[in-house]
Amino acid sequence: MKTITLKTESKNSTIYIGKSILNNIGDICFEKLPKAKKILVVTDSNVAKIYLEKAIKILKEKDKANIYSISFEAGEKSKNLNVYSDIIKAAAMLQFTRDDAFISLGGGVCGDITGFAAATYMRGIKYIQIPTSLLAAIDASIGGKTGVDIKEGKNLIGAFWQPEAVIFDTETLKTLPEMEYKNGLGEAIKYAILDGGDICKILKTGLDENNIEDFVYLCAQSKVNIVEKDEKEGSIRALLNLGHTIGHAEEAVSEYSIQHGMAVADGILVMVHAAKKNKEITEEEYKEIKSLIEKYDVGTGINFSLDTLMPFVFHDKKAKNDGINVVVIKGIGKCEIKKMSFEEFGEYIK
């Protein structure tokens, strides 16, 4: 098992990564939630079928708190105010106090909504993330961004709220559908370009059961390094948006039928083409990044025209009134944030 401590102004949270550590959630949760008399485990319908009974059994073995659970229909469509309100109402009906806590057991959807419920129930209670998807393990469960979607846009309502702990059991990936695994790899390629180094090395040699723990650890560490310097995205946290300007626009154009990580991989491809065109990277570096994306067959292969995408770029929630912060690839392990007007961005990626 590997651990990382994420230190922010609001708290220190511990990230645990290891094989079969779902068996240790009782010990970890009660160490991190010493005052909790009640715990609500939030999960989705797919994850509930596979892991909920086991998780509850392990938590109950400690006999330190009453364990309750609530599950919602799996999928991004559930990251909404109704499901959020169901969680809050369940906690209120069960008379949860400020000492009690939530646990998210599932992918990024479950983590974001549970985190937001924790951030707002009684103005904030403790919570723990147990990510079960690759995307949630390397990205969504870390860093304290929580929220829900509304019809007008994804993640438009949210809060920064750090979990007490993140516990990732690499064995849970065995039941993750292949498409969801690829979805996580889209975000993983983002870390490979941002960091280079060992993340890139593992992806080049081949990600497998033997190196997945190291790999998730390296990606998580990469995110931790950035979040510790800039928790609320005032500056360098925006680096984590590499590929996301086009990625978000694609998701919106497709009415969210395209998965997030796949759209991000498309966005990275657009940025790597642009970097080559603008002579910011060498032909070699271009080929290296492109071959990584091809090796793992991430990206949708769908090509939306710039005219179709640009209106959605204007409306992205990351856009500022006078333009956007674009993450520009200057090489593997070398990315920079550049402020561009919408016209400049259009020119840059054309």
Ligand X SMILES: NC(=O)c1ccc[n+]([C@@H]2O[C@H](COP(=O)([O-])OP(=O)(O)OC[C@H]3O[C@@H](n4cnc5c(N)ncnc54)[C@H](O)[C@@H]3O)[C@@H](O)[C@H]2O)c1
Residues that bind ligand X (CB under 6 A): 44, 46-47, 50, 74-76, 79, 106-110, 112, 132-133, 135-136, 139-140, 143, 145, 155, 172, 175-176, 180, 183, 260
The least distance separating ligand X from the CB of residue 87, rounded to whole angstroms, comes to 15
The least distance separating ligand X from the CB of residue 44, rounded to whole angstroms, comes to 5
155: CB partners within 8 A, 6+ apart: 112, 145, 147, 148, 149, 317
Closest to ligand X by CB, 26 vs 106, is 106
Distance between CA 106 and CA 84 in Å, rounded?
Answer: 15
The least distance separating ligand X from the CB of residue 174, rounded to whole angstroms, comes to 8
The least distance separating ligand X from the CB of residue 330, rounded to whole angstroms, comes to 24
Is residue 326 a contact partner of residue 340, using CB atoms and an 8 Å limit?
yes
The least distance separating ligand X from the CB of residue 118, rounded to whole angstroms, comes to 13
The least distance separating ligand X from the CB of residue 136, rounded to whole angstroms, comes to 4
Q: What's the distance, CA 173 to chain centroid? A: 15
Closest to ligand X by CB, 79 vs 126, is 79
Closest to ligand X by CB, 8 vs 66, is 8
Closest to ligand X by CB, 306 vs 319, is 319
Write 14-18 long-range contacts (CB < 8 A, 24+). Answer: 14/164, 14/165, 14/166, 15/142, 15/165, 15/166, 15/168, 15/220, 15/224, 16/165, 16/166, 16/167, 16/168, 17/137, 17/168, 17/170, 17/213, 17/216, 17/217, 17/220, 18/168, 18/169, 18/170, 18/213
The least distance separating ligand X from the CB of residue 312, rounded to whole angstroms, comes to 16
Q: DSSP letters along 100-125, please?
A: -EEEEEESHHHHHHHHHHHHHGGG--
Q: Which tokens in the block code for residue 218?
A: 């390296």
Closest to ligand X by CB, 52 vs 136, is 136
Number of Cβ within a 10 Å radius of residue 262: 23
The least distance separating ligand X from the CB of residue 43, rounded to whole angstroms, comes to 9
Distance between CA 96 and CA 229 in Å, rounded?
Answer: 34
Closest to ligand X by CB, 153 vs 301, is 153
SS3 of residue 55 by DSSP: helix
Among 57, 44, 19, residue whose Cα is nearest residue 137: 19
Closest to ligand X by CB, 46 vs 59, is 46
The least distance separating ligand X from the CB of residue 17, rounded to whole angstroms, comes to 15
SS3 of residue 155 by DSSP: strand
Closest to ligand X by CB, 170 vs 348, is 170
Closest to ligand X by CB, 32 vs 260, is 260
59: CB partners within 8 A, 6+ apart: 25, 26, 29, 39, 41, 65, 67, 103
